[in-house]
Amino acid sequence: MPPFDAELETRLTRYAALDSQSDAASPSAPSTPIQWDILRLLADELTRIGAAEVQVTDYGTVLATIPGTAPGPTIGFLAHVDTAPQFNASGVKPRVIHGYNGGEITFPDAPGLVLSPSEFPYLATKQGHTIITASGTTLLGADDKAGVAIIMTAARHLLENPSIPHGPIRIAFTPDEEIGRGVDKRLPADLAADFAYTFDGGAVGEVEFESFSADGAVVTVTGVSIHPGAATGQMVNAITLASKIIAALPQSTMSPETTSGREGFIHATDMTGGSAEMKLHFILRDFEREGLAQKGEILQQVCAAVQAGEPRAKITCTITPQYRNMRYWLENDMTPVDLARTACARIGVTPVSVPIRGGTDGSRLTEMGVPCPNLFTGMQNIHGPLEWISVQDMAQATELCLALVQEAAQPGEDSRKAG
């Protein structure tokens, strides 16, 4: 297998430097105009390397085809171009550390910030690797521009080496995954794949087929507004009632910072407004439908209790489904999961399947009829200034992509002689 390190380094640093943060408050699709810039760039690159049927859809997804060179299923590969809105993602300055020495990593634009292998043990296993971080004041955006770089590198290699046996391959680069709007209702038909994979996972070996189930909730608290000088017995302060709702929710058993493993949570993500009206935004997460419904009921009961204590106010709680655990569908046909595990073994990687404490575009695609497990890229510490990735991990993900399409085209012993 040829080395892909230099190409992956170049691609990721170039993609990461492009602003592409999504915005949940925007009603447009994509949610931010800057995402169109990277989408069009990727479409141009796909055209230049010889991909077929390249297009940018009106819903902001780049689609392309790598024609098959052998019989086999049509496989889709997906990654998202947007970066998370939770932390500054404007003006990213990627920083490359060749031959990482195994020690602490500091940041030129944030002198007090330290990425330590003692705090993050996975980093301690990457001595000698090429590590990419940002400069300390932004996230890096390896989530999921690493996935984009991996798919683009594998696509370029396959197009330049038509002797490699593989069935038809469909590529999709989506917007707005970070705000749960990456899969348009038209994408499953437009992708036209028998099954697909997102490259949006973490540590080497991850083959993920189970995700959170997710709902979003918006609580609106409307008080009674009046001049504070004449407020006695009249004013109903929406801020006070919103604070009571937050205080009444489980604090030590059902919040992100107190849960792990298969435990779900209720997470307040945003509060806006003033004394007249407040809006509270929540995300509800659980691995099981019943647990998710329970968390919605808890939030509604808290709102009802606060409302009962102040009947002059108006409190509404609207819960909206977002995505469901992909396991509910994949467990009925584990073919794409088993294929990925076999491809891992082919490149000498031990596959590991753990539940994702989050979701991917694959969660929605799977629910919409396109089975879509999630595969590793190497990304770590995402959504913050300590985000980093190993180029060598990305190279292994690229090798996995290539091994996977060959396994699908030539299953069994014959496929191990190809490539």
- Alpha-carbon distance of 407 to 419, in angstroms, equals 10
Catalytic residue among 176, 177, 184, 208: 177
Query: Which residue type, as a one-letter code, is found at position 407?
Result: E
- Is 80 annotated to bind a ligand? Reply is yes
**CA angle, 348 then 338 then 176, to 5°:** 95
The closest alpha carbon to 77, from 217, 199, 253, 236, belongs to: 199
What residues form DSSP beta bridges with 319? 217
- Is 5 annotated to bind a ligand? Reply is no
Tell the burial category of 121 from Cβ atoms under 10 Å away from its Cβ (0-12, 13-18, 19+): exposed
- Is 267 annotated to bind a ligand? Reply is no
Q: Which two tokens stand for residue 316?
A: 């509404």
- Is 331 annotated to bind a ligand? Reply is no
**Three-class DSSP category at 171:** strand
Q: Which residues, other chains included, contact 401 with Cβ-Cβ below 8 Å and sequence gap of 6+?
A: 77, 150, 151, 154, 199, 375
Q: Which two tokens stand for residue 239?
A: 């801020």
The closest alpha carbon to 287, from 215, 214, 352, belongs to: 214
H-assigned helices in 211-253: 238-248
Catalytic residue among 7, 9, 45, 82: 82
- Is 143 annotated to bind a ligand? Reply is yes
- Alpha-carbon distance of 182 to 395, in angstroms, equals 25
The closest alpha carbon to 202, from 409, 397, 5, belongs to: 397
Half-sphere exposure of 35 (CA within 13 A, CB side): 32
Strands 195-201 and 374-376: parallel
The closest alpha carbon to 269, from 379, 179, 360, 176, belongs to: 179
- 82 is known as an active-site residue: yes
- Alpha-carbon distance of 134 to 148, in angstroms, equals 17
The distance in angstroms from the start CA to the end CA of the chain is 8
- 331 is known as an active-site residue: no
Eight-class DSSP state of 229: G
Q: Which helix (H) or strand (E) holds 215?
A: strand 213-222
Contact 24, 177 (CB under 8 A): no
Measured in degrees and rounded to the nearest 5, phi and psi for residue 241 equal -70, -40
Q: Catalytic site residues?
A: 82, 177
Annotated binding-site residues read: 80, 143, 178, 200, 383
Annotated binding-site residues for Zn(2+) read: 80, 143, 178, 200, 383
